[in-house]
Amino acid sequence: MFQKFLTWFIQLTPGMKRGFWKWWYNAFAKRAQDDTFKFMNYGYHAPGFNPPLDESDENERYPIHLYHHVATQIDIADKTVLEVGSGRGGGASYLTRYLNPKSYVGIDISETAVDLCNEIHHLENLSFQVGDSENIPFEDGKFDVVLNVESSHCYGEMDQFMSEVARVLKPGGHFLWCDLRPGNSREKTNAHFANSGLQLINKNEITENIIVALEKMSADRKSAIKSRVPRLVRNIFESYAGVEGSRVHDSFINGALIYLSAAMQKPD
């Protein structure tokens, strides 16, 4: 019942939606103020998709897979990269260490998450700062790549976000994206892409890859939630985490939710 109320509440207005998710991610960051949870995404798995990882990164393999899947749609080596919605910084750290961008900046609306990132991620060409997805705090044409991983469903106005992405990209720059969407929103999502002025160069529906990853991570996520979250709200966190049998997991299976990835380019 509470999950249904939250779903209804956050869809009332763009402002309420943005405000709720800002509160939620600040609250989550305050509850887990260590480097145990570097990722919050739903992961990705595909047969034969097995990028080599250091032993210290193995426990986050499937969330890393999602970042790798999205970011390797182009070569980001020696590129200036902006991640919008960088969360707890695990993906930013991974891509900086493994794919060698020239610089990588992560912005997030959660002040607590940004503070945590600056405490636990220390790389010369990686930085984090507070920033709004619908008012990106950088000048026009600054970045070669803008990356957005499983974050845009929290935004109030998708078209405004896409407009900001196009603004801060250099001519010829790329926007790399993935996220979940309602199963009946394919045309709406395509319209957002078309309205941006960016050229769509790749799009994939990866729902099955997400389901497999969620199921592979389910036992570990349930255990982590049980050890950290009060029983009264445990089912909400399990659904948020997409554990097997949760509302989110089952929605991917029955088609109420789908998961998409895409790459777009700003015209020269």
Residue 226: its pLDDT value, please? 84
Query: According to the 3-state scheme, what is the secondary structure of the chain?
Result: CHHHHHHHHHCCCHHHHHHHHHHHHHHHHHHCCCCCCCCCCCCCCCCCCCCCCCHHHHHHHHHHHHHHHHHCCCCCCCCEEEEECCCCCHHHHHHHHHHCCCEEEEEECCHHHHHHHHHHCCCCCEEEEECECCECCCCCCCEEEEEEECCHHHCCCHHHHHHHHHHHEEEEEEEEEEEEEECCCHHHHHHHHHHCCCEEEEEEECHHHHHHHHHHHHHHHHHHHHHHCCHHHHHHHHHHHCCCCCHHHHHHHHCCEEEEEEEEECCC
Residue 221 or residue 166, greater confidence: 166
Cβ atoms of 97 and 125 closer than 8 Å: no
Q: Which of 111-120, 199-208, 246-255 has the highest mean pLDDT?
A: 199-208
Q: pLDDT by residue (tens digit) across 166-197?
A: 999 999 999 999 999 999 999 999 999 999 99
Domains of the chain, CATH where assigned: 2-265 (3.40.50.150)
Q: pLDDT by residue (tens digit) across 12-47?
A: 556 666 666 565 555 655 555 555 667 889 999 999
- How many angstroms separate the CA atoms of 4 and 121, rounded? 36
